[in-house]
Amino acid sequence: MRIAICDDEQRQRENIASFIEPHRADYPAITVSEFCCGEDLLAALEAGQAFDFFFLDIQMKEIDGIETAQEIRKSNPHTIIFFITSFVGYVSAAFTLNAFQFLVKPVKQEAFEREFNRAIHKYLMEHQKYMIESKSRTVTLEIKDITYLESSKHFIIIHAGRREYVKRGNLNAEEAKLCPYGFVRTHQAFLVNMAFIFEILQEDVVLRDGSKAMVSIRRRADVLQNYNQYLAGSAL
């Protein structure tokens, strides 16, 4: 997990870094990079550095945290962003950028621990792997990249972007594995990643890439309920 802390106050950067440090025991791969201004952080991104978590002070000279986040979102739409500030008036602006959380200065360790652990859980969930084994090859995907699964006789067709993969199996077993990661069974033959749902019609679920998965009459109410709960959870 690569973490960027961007704050024009060194003491604040050190404070956040000290809260992160104990987590290295459980996650040795954690790296922390500190930046004193938005310009330096954006320059690092432009040079090819990548981060999974951003802690951004909203009030900085020149490019502030909101403007920095706007630039980050252009190429990193799903990365986890924490905003840090002393003024709660910025909350609405922060959440239009899909901020993960808003931390008020001085950041207390208890509040940090609660939200950072929640962010780690989200990150790990989004980076879980899915293995597709066949006689000729083994392919490993990230679960978050799978659009939907479709069953056909004794085979499962896994749709991921423009690619399709086929393996033997049944959809009941895949449902048990994937539902904890935001998938919903829409039909006897379809299991859909709710992150890709664009529209739920009477007989189909339309996905963001334009593809469709069937939804059965008896499952439609449950699909709507699960999708509403998913959206509510995503907004927290």
pLDDT at 118 over 70: yes
Q: Given a cut of 50, is residue 14 above it in pLDDT?
A: yes
Cα first-last separation, the chain: 21
For position 235, what pLDDT does the model report?
47
Give residue 109's pLDDT. Answer: 92
**Residue with more model confidence, 236 or 113:** 113
Residue 205 has pLDDT above 90, yes or no: yes
Q: Are 91 and 101 in contact (CB under 8 A)?
A: no
In whole angstroms, what is the distance from residue 86 CA to residue 186 CA?
Answer: 45
CB neighbours of residue 97 within 10 Å: 16
Please tell me the predicted confidence (pLDDT) of residue 122.
83
Lookup: tokens for 151:
């069953």
**DSSP string for 123-166:** HHHHT-EEEEE-SS-EEEEEGGG--EEEEETTEEEEEETTEEEE
Please give the share of the chain, as a percent, with pLDDT higher than 90.
Answer: 55
3-state SS track over 86-123: CCHHHHHHHHCCCCCEEEECCCCHHHHHHHHHHHHHHH
Q: pLDDT tens across 20-53, in order?
A: 999 999 889 899 999 999 999 999 999 999 999 9
pLDDT digits (tens, 9 = 90+) for 81-113: 998 887 665 555 555 555 667 788 888 999 899
Q: Note the pLDDT of residue 186.
A: 97
Please state, in angstroms and rounded to a whole number, the distance separating the CA atoms of residues 67 and 141: 33
Q: Is 131 exposed, middle or buried (0-12, 13-18, 19+ CB in 10 A)?
A: exposed
pLDDT digits (tens, 9 = 90+) for 131-185: 998 777 899 998 989 999 999 989 999 999 889 999 999 999 999 999 888 899 9
Sign (positive or negative) of CA dihedral 60, 106, 79, 21: positive
List of domains in the chain:
2-126 (3.40.50.2300), 129-234 (2.40.50.1020)
Band of the pLDDT at 207, cuts 50, 70, 90?
very high
Q: What integer best gives the mean pLDDT of the chain?
A: 88
Spatial distance between the Cα atoms of 35 and 22, rounded to a whole number of angstroms: 21
pLDDT of residue 102: 77
Each residue of 210-221: pLDDT tens digit? 999 999 999 999
